[in-house]
Structure 1
Amino acid sequence: MRKMIFGWIWIPVVILLISGCSEAQQANKESVPTPVISSEPQILASTNPAMDDPGAVKTFLSAQKIPNGDIYLQDNKVHINIVGLNSEIEQSLAQTFTAGTYELHDVKYTMQELLAAQELLHEQELYQKLNLYGSGVDTIGNKVTITIPSDDAEAAKLEIEKWIDPKMLTYDISEIGDPHVVGTIVDIDTKQAKRILILEPGNEDPSYWFTFNAKSEMFNEAGETISFKDLRVGQQVKLWNTGMVLESFPALASVRRMELAVTE
C-alpha cells in the first residue's frame, strides 16, 4: 500500500495598505490649471500691410474653406469675392490681413461654378453650332462673358440659356463695323482647311491666313453671295474676322465676312 504524503505549502499574503494623504498634505499641493480648449483658430497678424502677395490670400481662403469667386488687384488693393459674406468671415480676414489693403465683395458664384458654366459651352459644342466668337470669366463682374456676332445674337442667347443660368451671363455683341483687313489674295489653301493668304498694301510679306467655316459669309462686288471656289489669287478683298486672332507670322484668323473689292 502506497503511503500518501501530504505537505503543506505556506504562501504568505502580503497586504499593502496605501494610506491616503492627509487634508494638510493635499492643501500643500499646487493646483493644476484646467486646460482651455478654444474652437477659434489662432490667426497670426499679417506682416505684409500692402498685401504684396495675393497668393497668401488664396491660400488663406482655401485653408479656411471659404467659398469665393477668386481675387483681383485694383486701385492698390486686393479685392476678394466671397460667396455668402458674413461678419464671421469679415472678422477672420480682419485678424489676418491689414485693414485698408483689401476690399471684400459679396458675390453669387464661386470661380468653380463660373468655369463649369464656361466648360458647358464646349461640352454642348455651342461654339460651332452658334458661331460663338469666344468666352471668358469676368472675375470683377462675377459672370461668364460670351462674345457673339450681332447677326444671330437673339437666337444664340436663347440656346445658350437653355444650358446656363442667364443671371450668370453677360454678352459681348460683335457688330460688323469696318473691315479689319483689306488686301490681296496671294495664296489659296485647301489641304487642311479652306483658307486664303493675304498681303496688305505697303507690306512686303503676307500678314494673315484667313480660314473659312460654315458660318463665313462671302459676297462679290455686286453684293451677291459667292462660295470659296469663286476665289482667285490676285483678287482684292475686304475681310472681317470673328474677333479671335492668333499671333503668329502670318497671323491666323477666321472669316466672319468677306467682300470682293471693286478694282479700278
Structure 2
Amino acid sequence: MLRRILRQLLPLNSRNNGPCHFTFDYKSSSIEEIAYALRKFGGVHIKNFYSSSELVEVFNDYLSDSFTIPDNKIVYDFDVKDYHHQRGPVIRGSVATEFTNRFGRREKLFIDSGMIDFFSPKLEGKQQIASDSIVSFTNNVLALAFSEQFSSGQHHIYIYNSVKTPRCFHRDCYVPRVKSFLTLKGVDSLEQGPYGFHPFSHRLRWLRFSILQVINFIFGSDLGGSYTDSTLTSSRQIVPFFNTCGDLLITRQDCTHGDFPCTVSFKKVVLVQNFFLR
C-alpha cells in the first residue's frame, strides 16, 4: 500500500526528458549524437533505420495473422536459470506467477500471456543481413557511448498478441547491458502496448539498486515476482516509444523499462539483439 502511494508521488521530476531529446532520424543524425543521448538518457529511438518494405517482405511469416507454430516445437515453461540456453519458441505466461509481496495483496498473474519469444531463431538471407546491420550499428554506438566493451549475444523475435498483463516495469540486471529492438510491426498509441523506459534511471545505479534490492528483499514485490521489479517507479515516469516498421530502439537494460498493457486487439513484432559486457 505504501509503495503504491509512493509511486503516485515520485513522478514529480522536473528534468527535461521528453522523447525529442533521444529521437533521431537515421539518415540525418550523426552516430556521435546518438551515442551521447544513449549515454545520457539510457535509451534512443532511431527512425527509418531499415527499409520497412524489405522487412515486411523478409519477415512476412512472423507478421502474418495466420502465423502458427507446430505444437511439438513449443516450449511452455522453462527454468529461468537456463534462460540463455533456450532455443525455439517459448510461450510466455502459460503458468501463473504469484506476487512475492509479503505485507499486502498477493495476486496471481499470467505475466506476458499472449507473447511468443523465439530464442535464437534461424535467420536466412536478408533476415540475417538485417540482424547483422543491428549488430554493426549498435556496436559502433556502444563504442562511442561507453568506456566498457560489449559483445553481441543471443537474438530473439518477440511476437506480442494483445498482451494485457505484461511484466511490470523492471530492470533486467544491475550491471550495464544493452538491447536493440528492430521494429517489424510498431505501435502508435498507448492502447497498443508500446515498449518504454525511464530516462536517467541508470544514474547513481549502485545507490538506487541497493535500496531497491533491500526493499524488494524485505517486502517482496507488489507488482510481480522478481527482486529487479521497479516497485518504486510510476508508469507516469516511463516514456513510451511510438514507432513504425524499420525503426530501431536501443536501451540500457539496467534502466527501468518494459511494456505498457495492451488494451485493444493488436499484434506487434520486434527483432531483438542482446549486448553483454565482455
TM range (shorter): under 0.3
Computing the radius of gyration from Cα coordinates, the structure with the larger value is 1
Task: Work out which structure has the larger RCO, using CA pairs closer than 8 Å and 6 or more positions apart in sequence.
Answer: 2
Structure (1 or 2) with the greater strand fraction: 1
TM-score (norm 1): 0.20
TM-score (norm 2): 0.19
